Amino acid sequence: MPSRFYEQPAQLFGVVCAGFLALSYGIAIAPAVSAQASSTAVQPAPRSAQETRGLAVYVSEGCPYCHTQQVRPLAVDAVWGRPTLPADYANLAPLAWYAGTPGVLGSQRTGPDLSDVGRRQASPDWQLMHLFNPRLVSPSSVMPALPWLFRLEARPSAAARIVAVPQGAAPAGMSVVATDAALDLVTYLLSLRLEPDAGARREPTTAISGGASRGADIFEARCAACHQSSGKGVPAAFPALVGNPTVTAADPTLHVSTILHGLQGKTIEGFSYSVAMPAFDSLLDDAQIAAVVNHERTSWGNGAPSVTTEQVRAIRASGRKP
């Protein structure tokens, strides 16, 4: 009597394996290869040694449990930038399969997405202050402080990286000094940037008229970490926007150019702010900048005239810097 197919283990195993390989190629391998080949995103450069050490600190401190590094193609994620693509996770460093981004994508979304944090929060001073005590820059933050990444020194050396913290954040007469681990972690965070993708669909923007809600959303995503949702800033670190003469001026040129090009060393009410404000000219379009400018000029008791997208476009074209 001839044997039946299911009674031949070798044949049965071979057919099952062939089916598994065919499905794996059709469902996973072929789409991944096609997506990577068709992407126009800029391929990321290999990580430096310091960035690699910073990634190790990032993982050891449990940061991926709360923070993601993947912007979904959803409206709720639009404030974080363009949706992430397969090419964003390519890494040319050795052992990329082990030390690359996919292993730390995160899923909780308890904290803000970090895919573009190197652009969104480009200030090393802010990053260090935030790691030392998140409540210094975000009073309602649930993120744990990481004080073991810092030292308190009465007489720090000239080479020490002193963290600018508000008065009272450290014991009297003591300076907060960042350790190598803290500096490595900040270097890694600042390396997280989403390069523009020429093939990605750009969300259409329109001239802002009465777009207070949209301006508030952009402010919360891009500005509130330093200037606070209340507009009161952080004393001795980030200036307040409430009653700020640049924000309340009838002529919006300085206000807009500051957002476009950034600023450092500005003296406001007798205090010189050494922490650099990043430029947003490549991150926000004219309509988005008009929206956030109008939010700042009409919130917290400020009553300055609104600006239009056309005004922002003209100021950008002029190239004038603050």
Domains within the chain, CATH numbers bracketed: 50-190 (1.10.760.10), 212-318 (1.10.760.10)
Whether residue 211 is predicted with pLDDT greater than 50 in this model: the reply is no
Say whether pLDDT at 31 is over 60.
yes
Cα 274 to Cα 264: distance, rounded to the nearest angstrom:
6
Q: Is the pLDDT of residue 206 over 90?
A: no
At residue 188, the pLDDT reads 95
Beta strands at 266-268 and 150-153: parallel, antiparallel or unpaired: unpaired
Count of CB atoms situated within 10 Å of the CB of 182: 24
Rounded distance between C-alpha atoms, residue 86 and residue 67, angstroms? 19
Distance CA 84, CA 81 (A): 8
Q: Is the pLDDT of residue 23 over 50?
A: yes
Which pLDDT does position 7 carry in this prediction? 74
CA dist 265 and 273 (Å) reads: 5
CB atoms within 10 A of CB 104: 17
- Whether residue 88 contacts residue 115, with contact meaning beta carbons closer than 8 Å, is answered with yes
Given a cut of 80, whether residue 162 has pLDDT beyond it is yes
Does residue 121 or residue 130 have the better pLDDT? 130
- Whether the predicted pLDDT of 240 surpasses 60: yes
Q: Where are the beta strands (DSSP E) in 113-209?
A: 150-153, 175-178
Q: What is the pLDDT of residue 213?
A: 61
Instruction: Specify the pLDDT at position 97.
Output: 45
Confidence of residue 201 (pLDDT cuts 50, 70, 90): very low
At 133 the pLDDT is: 94
Least confident range of 135-144, 173-182, 290-299 = 135-144
**Residue 153: pLDDT above 80?**
yes
Tokens representing residue 130 in the block: 């935030």
Residue 207 has pLDDT above 60, yes or no: no
* Average pLDDT of the chain, as a whole number: 82
